[in-house]
Amino acid sequence: MDAARIIREALARVAHLRHLQACSPELAAHVKIIKAFQARRFKGTYADLLQSGSYQEAAQFFLDELYSDKDYTERDAQFERIAGTLQTLFPKQVISTAVSLAHLHTVTEELDHAMALAWQGALPFPSTASDCTCYVTAWRAVGHRAERELQLQVVQEIGVELARLTRLPGLRLMLKMMRRPAHAAGLASLQTFLESGFDTFAGMSRQPRGVEVFLSIVQERESALIRLLFDASPVAGETELVRTLGKV
């Protein structure tokens, strides 16, 4: 299957989920709650990196572009619009990154949608239940451990691919030259993602094993969270989330 078809099918799946949410304001509201909670959780998990140090920009990029609660509708539309020309306009490494991003986007949206359904009404939460209680209960009800682990795997792949892009001769100059045409063509969000990712990982690549260390931190912390929410008691999961959110 070629890159354009993969991207279009991924975005079609996301568009279908958005349609279902548009038909149910309550469901849409719970999707926003889930995404906002997860963004806060990420800020707490990586508070040390976000506040200072060598990996501040990388952590902020992951928060803004991969773990954010912002609306990606505009970027999706831009990806879909250029899907057919990706293979003629960009180096294969850029195409690989775009495909991975589309894959991650689909898995994330499907999991968030399932979580929102659980949070919305499939589970009898008392009115006094905290967000952490609701989140852990919804997580365990949805399950899909393999998909959670796949989500983390694709995040890692995107990081590795962005690091590879920084080693392509002339790519930074090409991205700079694309800036004005990209904005004129309505591709500003996609251009911003590519430039921001390139610059962030180029900076880390100048540090000895910078990219490897950063990605290993993400792998370790996210894997630990997955194990905790699936394997430990619900109370242990809730307690850890409360502690993590307290850092924000």
List alpha helices for the chain, DSSP H: 3-22, 25-45, 47-51, 56-65, 73-82, 86-89, 92-117, 131-142, 145-165, 171-184, 188-205, 210-231, 234-245
pLDDT at 147: 97
Distance CA 57, CA 206 (A): 14
227 burial class (0-12, 13-18, 19+ CB within 10 angstroms)? exposed
pLDDT at 46: 96
User: Residues of the chain whose pLDDT is less than 50?
Assistant: none
pLDDT at 124: 56
* Neighbouring residues of 212: CB distance < 8 A, sequence distance ≥ 6: none
Look up the domain containing 165 and give its range.
Answer: 3-245
User: What is the domain count for the chain?
Assistant: 1
